[in-house]
Structure formats: structure tokens, C-alpha cells
Structure 1
Amino acid sequence: MPRFLTMIRVDEKNSPEGGPSPEMGERMGALLEEITKAGVMLETAGLTPSAQTTQVHWEGGRLSVTDGPFTEAKEVVGGYSITQCKDKAEAVEWAGRFLRTHDEQWTVTAEVREIIEG
């Protein structure tokens, strides 16, 4: 069965101050419990804010390392999951359900990509 990486992209500049509401946390927790019990969720986690990011870049035979914050970034990866689904349609359905747990003032995008197996 294929595995999928879902990257959750958030607009940090327009995210609600104080983070998720308690109700949003409850909805998210219930969905994560459901997807785990269904045997779909393999791994998930949130990520630190982009201000704490370090980028490692290779160009022209040279390596550079730059610490955040990165002001040009509109959306950043705020979290991820690795799921095992019967097909991409199922992975997209779970991603959509996750996005719907967010309160209306959030701007969130899920990027779903199949993992290429060895």
C-alpha cells in the first residue's frame, strides 16, 4: 500500500495570535485518534516557527547556511504527516478532513505527495 507525505503549509503572518482555539485542538485530536485507529497514520508532528529555521543551500558548487527568519516566505511548512492509504484519493480525503478541523480565520494548505518506494 502506498505511503504519502502531507505537508501542512500555514501563513504565519496571518495565523491567529495565541495559536489554535481549544475547540480546534479537540477536533484535531479526535481526527488524529480516528486516523490512527484506522491504521492510516504512520507519523505526524508540528514544526517550530520559521524564525527558528536554518536553510542549507547548494548552488554553483558552494554550500551556504542561513538562519531564519525568512521574511519573503508567505506560507511555511507548519507540520507534516506520513500516511499509508489505498490510493492518493484517500490521502487527499484525510488531508481535507484535517484542514476542516481548523477555525475559519486560519489559512492552511495541505500538499499531498506520494513517497517513492526504494
Structure 2
Amino acid sequence: MGFVRMEEGVGTPPQELFEAMDAYIGEQSAKGVFIDGGGLYGTEDAVNFVARKGEVSRVDGPYAETKEVVGGWAILQYDTLEEAVADQQEFAELHAKYWPEVTVISTLRQISMGPDAPGD
């Protein structure tokens, strides 16, 4: 699974990035790699449920203390880790090229299919 994290409130990405992402996602879909994904709005309407010490509390956004938020996500499937890492770097490079004034952290994580750790 790929995540894009960025600073809260940086605004809408430039149209050029949307166009580049459409082309990139189209290519990944054609290869059978891109399964699903999308962008996320800011935390202004977010709702968190916090479980702490056996109690659950609800916390509504926006969150003044938030510095970084998840701005988008994608579910991807690769045959090798090397392919996944190479494509995640290409994805990050699109952001660097088309939205250079914003710091974006592109994260790749493996989806757990059960209680065992990867490789078990």
C-alpha cells in the first residue's frame, strides 16, 4: 500500500500533477499493478476514535496540532519488492517535478494478510 503524507493545508495540487498522475495510474492499471486508490481531504471533517486505557473517546477535526496528514493512498500489487520500490520512487518523483514547493513523503507498506509477519 502506498501513502502520500504532506503538511496540512498546503492547498490543491497543480493541474499538471493531476494530469501526470492520471497518466501514471493509467499505466499502472494497464500493467495490473494499481488496484485502487485516491486522494483525501484535510482533517477539517475528520473524526478520530481514541482507545486509551480501556476507554474510547471521540475527537473531531480540525486538529491544530497536526503537522502532517495522509493526503492519498493506493493499493498496489507487485511480483517483487524491487518493482514496488522502483514504482514508489517514480511516484515520488512525479510530485517532486510537478509540485516542488511542497514536501511530500511517499511511503510504501506491505498489507498484512494475517497474524504472521512478512516472510513468515
TM-score with structure 1 setting the length: 0.86
More contact order relative to length (CA 8 Å, sep ≥ 6): 1
From 76, 80, 91, the counterpart of 1:87: 80
From 54, 57, 63, the counterpart of 1:70: 63
- Shift, 1:22, TM fit: 1.7
From 14, 23, 37, the counterpart of 1:44: 37
- Shift, 1:100, TM fit: 1.7
From 14, 17, 23, the counterpart of 1:24: 17
- Shift, 1:63, TM fit: 0.3
Instruction: Using the TM superposition, name which of 98-107 and 67-76 deviates more.
Output: 98-107
1:88 and 1:114 in contact (8 A); partners too: no
- Shift, 1:110, TM fit: 1.4
- 2:109 aligned with 1:113: yes
Partner of 1:60: 53
**4+ residue runs of structure 1 moved beyond 4 angstroms?**
none
TM-score with structure 2 setting the length: 0.85
User: What is the number of residues matched between the two proteins?
Assistant: 111
Unmatched 5+ residue regions in structure 1? none
